[in-house]
Amino acid sequence: MSSFPQSPFGQDITAEDIVATMQNFKGWEDRYRQVIQWGKKLPQMPDDLKSDQVTVSGCESQVWLVSEQVEGKWHFCADSDARIVRGLIALVMAAYEGKSSAEIQSFDVDSYFEKLGLIAHLSPSRGNGLKAIVEKIKQLSA
């Protein structure tokens, strides 16, 4: 069993569920509010896990990401000092938490983000930061 705090959604909510929820919203403001709500459900990363060694570079806000592999499945614990980034991390966790290396490497994250209708509404630095988090997960699980 993973020694990290549980995923914000347990294993119950998948990337597909996130897409379905987001596509029900008409406007960007409603999507934005939902992302922040998901971020509030993201467990706080214990302070003893936060260090410069686990900081994700390429993010404007502070982002910490640690991982462990248990019985062939990857588990991640991530946090940020920014509310919207916590929400974006929650979206990423829904896609990658509890998956195998092969599932992580083959997941079409660009298509996922496109279906969410997010990237166009994020500042370039937030979009780059989001991509940096995904790249870090892919590196760790390779």
| Residues classed as catalytic | 59
The three-class DSSP label of residue 54 is: helix
Question: What distance lies between CA 125 and its chain's CA centroid?
Answer: 16
Which tokens sit at 120? 């166009």
Residue 109: CB atoms within 10 A of its CB come to 18
| Residue whose entry in the numeric block shows the structure tokens 């993201």 | 42
Residue 33: CB atoms within 10 A of its CB come to 12
Give the integer Cα–Cα distance in Å for 13 and 79. 19
Nearest to 65 by CA among 31, 35, 88: 88
